[in-house]
């Protein structure tokens, strides 16, 4: 009988958060893991892709509103103004760390995809703060919070041991449980896309960048660029 063989995982190198904000992200994911997950299967996550995609597209208007120079990226000063406008309260150090964490190209500007991941991380941190102290303000973006909660919940679904990371075996097992015949191959491909630093585990930031790509965010951006190029050729 054919089937995918799951090899034992090699010892994982422990990822040490480099900033206070990364430590808060890890603590927030452990807290969310302990609270449980509403998703019951890998297939239930796939079924939510269209709804997540439609919700995240609403971020485009926010992105364009705060891309003051219309250059397709949000710089540090524009992000600070964005937070002020949305009444998102973070210290200067936290804003700097968030910006650095999401500016994966190190070009001092966040594109639309990076901006979505940043907002989702802000949602995660704000939700953790509210859980600890109900008197603290929420993120204040009700139209997007449902999509962000689903993204966080998907990470919790895969993180079976609730340590704040997703391992290769956790991902393989979750996809195998869905009845997918090629679960091993699919999971290995997906894990390679997520595990940027090749340390054998995926943190929430790595997960969000990969997951939002799977949903189709980058495809939408590519379509916009193709339309612009077509107009230029006319």
Distance CA 127, CA 170 (A): 25
Residue 175 tokens, joined: 């996809």
Phi, psi (rounded to 5 degrees) for 111: -80, 180
pLDDT digits (tens, 9 = 90+) for 206-227: 999 999 888 876 544 444 444 4
Per-range mean pLDDT, top range of 101-105, 174-178, 191-195: 191-195
pLDDT in tens, 144-187: 889 999 999 999 999 999 999 999 999 988 888 877 677 778 88
pLDDT tens, position by position, 6-21: 444 545 555 567 788 8
Is-contact 103 109, C-beta < 8 A? yes
Provide the 10 A C-beta neighbour count for residue 170: 21
Is residue 74 classed as helix, strand or coil in its secondary structure?
Answer: strand
Give the per-residue pLDDT at 63.
93
Q: What pLDDT shows up at residue 14?
A: 54
What is the rounded average pLDDT of the residues 126-142?
Answer: 83
User: How much is the pLDDT for 230?
Assistant: 43
Contact 176, 4 (CB under 8 A): yes
Which pLDDT value is given to residue 1? 42
Q: Which residue has the higher pLDDT, 48 or 137?
A: 48
Integer-rounded Cα radius of gyration of the chain: 18
């Amino acid at each position: 009988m054919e089937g995918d063989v799951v090899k034992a995982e090699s010892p994982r190198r422990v990822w040490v958060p480099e900033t206070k904000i990364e430590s808060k992200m890890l603590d927030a994911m452990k807290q969310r893991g302990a609270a449980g997950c509403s998703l019951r299967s890998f297939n239930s996550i796939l079924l939510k892709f269209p709804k997540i995609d439609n919700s995240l597209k609403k971020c485009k208007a926010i992105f364009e509103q705060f891309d003051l120079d219309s250059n397709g990226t949000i710089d540090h000063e524009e992000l600070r103004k964005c937070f002020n406008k949305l009444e998102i309260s973070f210290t200067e150090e936290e804003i700097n760390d968030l910006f650095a964490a999401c500016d994966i190209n190190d070009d001092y500007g966040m594109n639309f995809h990076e901006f979505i991941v940043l907002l989702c991380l802000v949602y995660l941190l704000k939700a953790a703060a509210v859980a600890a102290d109900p008197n603290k303000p929420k993120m204040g973006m009700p139209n997007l919070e449902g999509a962000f909660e689903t993204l966080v919940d998907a990470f919790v679904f895969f993180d079976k041991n609730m340590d704040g990371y997703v391992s290769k075996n956790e991902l393989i097992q979750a996809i195998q449980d869905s009845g997918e015949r090629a679960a091993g191959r699919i999971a290995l491909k997906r894990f390679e896309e997520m595990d940027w630093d090749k340390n054998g585990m995926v943190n929430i930031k790595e997960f969000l960048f990969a997951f939002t790509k799977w949903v189709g965010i980058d495809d939408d951006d590519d379509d916009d660029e193709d339309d612009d190029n077509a107009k230029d050729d006319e």
